[in-house]
Amino acid sequence: MTENKNPAPGFRRNPNKRMTIAPHDKTVCVKADELEIAVTEAAKILRETGCRDVLYIPFADINFACLEQTRTRAHSPYKGDATYWRLIGAGRPGGDIMWAYPDPYDEALEIKEHGAFYAELVDIEER
């Protein structure tokens, strides 16, 4: 058994907590005000005890030309430190709509270089 180099401290404090990351079997399209932000066939679904399921989209499939990284930061004891992005352009609201974990804990390495969107702020279509 290999030892984690960067283990999530949350699991030591809460050993009953579960988190799984698996390939998502549908094409995912993310839009805001009809602007297509992302389309992928390689999304991953993160399931975590006590939380809603979250789709993570590879950075390669996200249109970063319409996003700007903000100063917002957050910490998850299970995933690591998160960074955030907002939509840019004329008439766009300035709030954060996407987050990512640039250097996740070992248990969340599968979502490195993936972004997740607030479902209540964008349209997420699965087909």
* Residue 91 pLDDT exceeds 70: no
pLDDT, residue 1, reads: 39
Interval 36-45 mean pLDDT: 97
**pLDDT band, residue 37 (cuts 50/70/90):** very high
Interval 80-105 mean pLDDT: 89
Instruction: Give the tokens for residue 26.
Output: 């549908």
Neighbours of 38 (CB within 10 A): 25
Euclidean distance between CA atoms 32 and 9, whole angstroms: 35
DSSP 62: B
Between the CA of residue 127 and those of 39, 40, 57, what are the distances in Å?
Answer: 11, 11, 15
DSSP 61: G
* β-bridge partners, 98: 85, 117
In the chain the domains, ranked by start, together with CATH numbers, are 17-126 (2.170.150.40)
Taking the whole predicted model, whether its pTM rises above 0.75 is answered as yes
